[in-house]
Amino acid sequence: MTGFKAMFRALWRPKFHDMNAILGLYLLVMVISLVLQGFHDGLNGMSLANAAVGSGSGFGLLVFVWLAWQMEKDHTSATYRQMPATNTSFYLAELAATTIGALYFLVVRSAIMLVSYLGFHGGNVHQLLAELFRGAHSDYSPLQLGGIATYIVVLFFLVGVLAWMLISTIHFVVTTISAFLPNVAQWLIKLVLAILLIVLIIRVMVWLFELQHTLFNGLTEQLVPIMAYSFVAVVLAAIVLGTLNVYLLKHWVEAKY
């Protein structure tokens, strides 16, 4: 029986190569952006920080979409589905490989942005922190600001993982009902589910930005409960979707040959 670690290694390797390829593309776009700045504004107008941040803004979305597509492709891959592993181990290994792939990309991209910014501003960490927390309530201590910022980053990342799980749920549900409906009805249901998914993602993003605004703009006695309830809600939703996905994967989703 193939264990979780073996499944994870098998699923992680192609994602690692994909993330390195996307990072290479990011660096190429950054260099091109820097060259275009030089042609437009001259050597004195070239900003490595602007090139790094501006070039990297769209790559996060690219990674999210690419990993979502790769995850659903793996769920129906005969290569992986024929490995002697339980559906739970396979699903969790796939989710872990996807999550760590995204985390790897985000850490490397953030490091590139940080080095570029500090290099452009002469290593002025205080200026960087001032810009990051601009508009935050003045009563917050640096420790409180750091804690809230870490919480928001973790929550955003967890919501991203939850979005991948929801995409898998929709994929599995569509696969399940496809066995009972004609092609026209299948197309209509896919369209409705796609619209609902887009609306839900927009609503969640609005909620996250409102939560971020609430946390950063004033001390409140409800600060800790708000943070706790939000975190617990996301974790519980992930547990429910994960359990449902494993069930659908086991009983309804077959490999494509």
Quick: pLDDT tens for 155-206: 889 999 999 999 999 888 888 887 777 777 778 887 888 888 888 888 888 8
Question: Cβ contacts of residue 201 below 8 Å, gap of 6+?
Answer: 163
Place 255 in a pLDDT band, splitting at 50, 70 and 90: low
CA distances 233 to 29, 56, 191, 215, 221, Å, are 38, 30, 28, 17, 20
State yes or no: pLDDT of 128 exceeds 80.
Answer: no
pTM attached to this predicted model: 0.84
State yes or no: pLDDT of 247 exceeds 90.
Answer: yes
H/E/C letters for each residue in 84-129? CCCHHHHHHHHHHHHHHHHHHHHHHHHHHHHHHHHHHCCCCHHHHH
Domain range for 247 is 137-257
Alpha helix ranges (H) inside 140-182: 142-178
The residue behind tokens 């790769």 is 70
Place 212 in a pLDDT band, splitting at 50, 70 and 90: confident
Task: Clarify whether residues 149 and 207 are in a common domain.
Answer: yes
Task: Clarify whether residues 89 and 188 are in a common domain.
Answer: no
Task: Clarify whether residues 251 and 153 are in a common domain.
Answer: yes
Task: Clarify whether residues 171 and 210 are in a common domain.
Answer: yes
The residue behind tokens 């570029």 is 116
Q: How far apart are the first and last CA of the chain?
A: 22
Domain closes at, from 132, 150, 167 = 132
Task: Clarify whether residues 48 and 120 are in a common domain.
Answer: yes
Task: Clarify whether residues 124 and 195 are in a common domain.
Answer: no
Section 228-240 average pLDDT: 91
Alpha carbons 55 and 244: distance in angstroms, whole number: 38
Q: What is the pLDDT of residues 69-118, one digit of tens each?
A: 999 999 988 888 888 889 999 999 999 999 999 999 999 998 888 887 77
Average pLDDT of the chain, as a whole number = 82
Task: Clarify whether residues 98 and 187 are in a common domain.
Answer: no
Task: Clarify whether residues 96 and 217 are in a common domain.
Answer: no
pLDDT, residue 213, reads 74
Among residues 209, 208, 211, which one has the least CA distance to residue 223? 211
State yes or no: pLDDT of 20 exceeds 80.
Answer: yes
Task: Clarify whether residues 125 and 141 are in a common domain.
Answer: no
More confident residue, 140 or 149: 149
The residue behind tokens 């929709």 is 170
Domain closes at, from 132, 165, 187 = 132
Query: Residue 52, exposed/middle/buried by CB under 10 A (0-12, 13-18, 19+)?
Result: buried
Domain closes at, from 108, 132, 156 = 132
H/E element, 223:
helix 223-251
Number of domains the chain is built from: 2
CA distances 141 to 138, 176, 222, 226, 228, Å, are 8, 52, 17, 19, 20
Task: Clarify whether residues 114 and 148 are in a common domain.
Answer: no
Task: Clarify whether residues 19 and 55 are in a common domain.
Answer: yes
Place 238 in a pLDDT band, splitting at 50, 70 and 90: very high
Alpha carbons 39 and 184: distance in angstroms, whole number: 53
Task: Clarify whether residues 114 and 178 are in a common domain.
Answer: no
